[in-house]
Structure 1
Amino acid sequence: MKYFLILLTSLLIFTGCSSKKYFEVDDTLGDYETNITSLDDNILSFNKDGATLENGEVITKRGVSDFKLPEGFEFINISDNIIISTNYLGKVLLNKSEIDFKTGVVAATLKNDILAIVFMDNSISLYNTKTKKILMKEYYSKSLANDTRIANPYFMGNLILFPTLDGKIIVVNARTNKVIRTIVVDADGKFNNIIFLNVVNDSLIAATTNKIVSVGAGAVNLKKYSIRDIISHDNDIYIATIDGQIIKTDISLNVQNRRKYKYAKFYALAYGNSLYALESQGYLINISNDFNTEKIYNFSFDQEDKVIAIGNTFYLNNEYFTVK
């Protein structure tokens, strides 16, 4: 009986492993021809706005920077030509200028002398870097588990948009420093922090890993997707889903086109002259702007690598390349 149970267990394990499906392509256009540039070190951490290398160098939306962070600090954002970083223990650096807070900071954006902050305890604040005074502080429900791609606050004219760790967008009047609206993107699930926040053609687009919302022209549109990655380009939104779909929507989240890749696991999306998607089994998929055609290239990389895409550039652990 004991040996039967061992055999049965072995068969179940083998069957489980052998039944796992992967994205496969019968024929490709060969290797993707591009100039791959080495980074000075491996990627340590990243968000939607950039990354920190293990040697303290940073990647921003402007590319690889020779600016170096002190040991223990990691990149959060770049705004007003100033690199914002934190040690997650309450200290924030604006380039080399240090600010001390009582709680760890996970997201921040600077405009003029005003620093908009999201703290680890899911509180938000406005801090005047010139007078060194807190202008506003609000507390929200604590979030015990978060996706590492935490979005940064966004200054939109006289409004400041705070992405929270519990799936909300808090709208603050920049003149009065008062909360004027709360937009619930995703009230369910553990990993429901905002991972994407942008304003596209006067419409607010925000997403968690489970939902995406568009707010504009008096209308609120909400869609459910299991999101692997999301980017915007011009007036279009591109979503890669866990079930292998690449979806193109307008700013109201109306689906314009979609393509399905069976068993595909997408790591990141980038946009050159058209859309590119990096797939886990060593493929780079280029989809035409009208979504009618595709080109699939071989592009091998280690699945353990930290991978991000910013604009038209993919960063993979210790190297990067730009798509056409």
Structure 2
Amino acid sequence: MRSSIYSIFIILTIFIFTGCGSKKYFEPAQTSSAEGAITTHKGTSKYLTRDGVTFTNNKYVSKYGSGKIVLNSNEVFLSANKSYIFTTDQYGKLFITKKSTKKLVKTVKFDVPIVSAGVKNGLLVYLLQDNTFGIYKLSTDTKIVENKSEDAFAVDSRIASPMFIDNLVVVPTLDGKLLIMDMNNPENAKVIYISSSTKLNNVIYLSRVGNLLVASTPNRVMTIGTAEGEYNRQGISEVAISKNSIYLFTKAGEIIKMNSSLEQQAYKKFKFAHFSTGTAFGGKVYGLDQQGSLIVADANLKRYRIYDIGKVEDFAFVSGHKLFKDELIIALDKLSL
């Protein structure tokens, strides 16, 4: 189905912060001001991915910081790596721009809109809106392999990007699987099932820490490698890793600290909170409730302070140590306990 990448079919655009169906909200008894940590930016969001936000002024922010180029009006940001910026349009064109020169180096046309991509050694790994995945050789404009996974009619907008590990590529799909392919022999892919939920089951988080792979759908998180574990939880809003700890943030107001085997180490629930996003670094954990309470906790979730930064009206996105919320930029490392 060739609908726009902005349509509900592609991405049932789940801004995690939108209405939760309950009239009860998290109302902390005491909050602090984050005024000294706040600056502003211009731009309303028009497209949100796991790796960035595209604004109506054709600028974008990625997980690495403010965008390096200004996009064309028909483009939206998908992701970036150390060398390239990946953008796309609603008709299935992928634009690859070299970071160092800010010049467009390749355009690849697909029949279906593209939702995630990555490049290594001249090979493009891609995932399309209809859950088709493949490897494309850029120098010869040929598809080395292409297959289609099961249909996924409603997905979370935070679609994880492919990950390269030596000669392997890990492709997160829209139906809750990880496909592991050898780039030199991609026909025989290994399949790892993260979750088998019938809706909102795409892989929303994929990260590597040493030899440990961490992957999550909105309903289940899994670790693979030096330690292995599985953890089922409905309504996972975000996953964050700090040092050797994994943190889950849920739509039920929970922050859960786990080890690499996904054994629970600490737990804190904020009644009626609904986390839009979260992160962890520098011995602190940061969780943003959709009503505007920004919770800063210590690594063991024993102490915390709550800052009021206003209800999330448009979007919330963590870029490095900064939180972009609507028109605000909050320097998280300036917030104390």
Q: TM-score, normalised by structure 2?
A: 0.85
Q: Once the two structures are superposed, what CA deviation does each residue of 1:209-263 show, in whole Å capped at 9, x if it has no partner? A: 1111111237453433421222222322111112111011112211111111111
RMSD of the TM alignment (CA)? 1.8
Structure 2 Cα separation of the partners of residues 154 and 88 of structure 1: 24
Q: 1:100 aligns with which of 86, 89, 109?
A: 109
Larger RCO, structure (CA 8 Å, separation 6 or more): 2
2: CA distance, partners of 1:34 / 1:45: 29
Q: Which residue of 1 aligns with 2:71?
A: 69
Distance of aligned partners of 1:225 and 1:311 in 2 relative to their CA distance in 1, 3 Å threshold: farther
Q: Which of the numbers 128, 136, 146 marks the counterpart of 2:137?
A: 128
Superposition pairs of residues 171-250 of structure 1, within 5 angstroms: 171-217=180-226, 219-250=228-259
The gaps in structure 2 that reach 5 residues or longer are 1-21, 98-103
Of residues 155, 162, 165, the one that matches 1:153 is 162
User: Over residues 74-119 of structure 1, what are the superposed CA-to-partner deviations in whole Å (9 max), with x where a residue is unaligned?
Assistant: 1111024211011132100002232112221111011231111001
Give matches, 1:19-34, under 5 Å: 20-28=23-31, 30-34=32-36
CA distance in 2, matches of 1:104, 1:262: 40
Q: Matched residues in 2 for 1:285 and 1:255: separation? A: 20
Aligned-pair distance for 1:318?
2.7
- Output one character per residue of 1:272-305: Cα deviation in whole Å (capped at 9) or x when no partner: 421111112331111112222111122223x322
Question: Which runs of no fewer than 5 residues in structure 1 stay unpaired?
Answer: 1-18
CA contact (8 A) 1:270 1:314 kept: no
Question: Which residue in 2 is equivalent to 1:9?
Answer: none
Q: Give the alignment of 1:305-324 within 5 angstroms.
A: 305-324=314-333
Partner of 2:57: 55
CA distance in 2, matches of 1:318, 1:46: 15
Change (3 A) 1:25 1:151: same
The answer to whether the 8 A contact 2:126-2:162 is kept is yes
Q: State the distance in 1 between where 2:200 and 2:189 align.
A: 26
In the alignment, is the contact (CA less than 8 A) between 2:51 and 2:62 conserved in 1?
yes
The total of aligned residue pairs comes to 304
For 2:54 and 2:322, the matched residues in 1 are separated by 16
Deviations 1:35-90 (A, max 9, x none): 42322312221222111111211212221124111112111110242110111321
Determine if contact 2:64/2:320 at 8 Å carries over to the other structure.
no
CA distance in 2, matches of 1:220, 1:181: 18
Match of 1:285 in 2: 295
Describe the shift of the 1:58–1:112 C-alpha distance in structure 2 as closer, same or farther (beyond 3 A). Answer: farther
Q: Is contact 1:215-1:221 (8 Å) kept? A: no
Aligned residue for 2:196, secondary structure, equals coil
- Report if aligned partners of 1:229, 1:269 keep a CA contact under 8 Å in 2: yes
**Alpha-carbon distance change, 44 to 172 in structure 1, aligned in 2, over 3 angstroms:** same
- SS of corresponding position for 1:177: strand
Aligned residue type for 2:297: I
Which amino acid is the alignment partner of residue 160 of structure 1?
A: V
AA of the residue aligned to 2:141: K
SS of the aligned residue for 1:85 comes to strand
Report the structure number with the largest CA radius of gyration.
1
Q: Give the 3 Å change call, closer, same or farther, for CA 218–307 of structure 1 in structure 2.
A: closer
How far apart are 1:189 and its partner, in Å?
Answer: 2.3
Shift of 1:161: 0.4
For residues 220 and 245 of structure 1, what CA distance do their matches in structure 2 show?
A: 19
Quick one: percent identity of the two aligned structures? 28
Which residue does 2:85 correspond to in 1? 83
Distance 2:135 2:303 in 1: 47
Amino acid paired to 1:37: T
Q: Structure 1's 35 and 291: CA in aligned 2 closer, same or farther, altered over 3 A?
A: closer
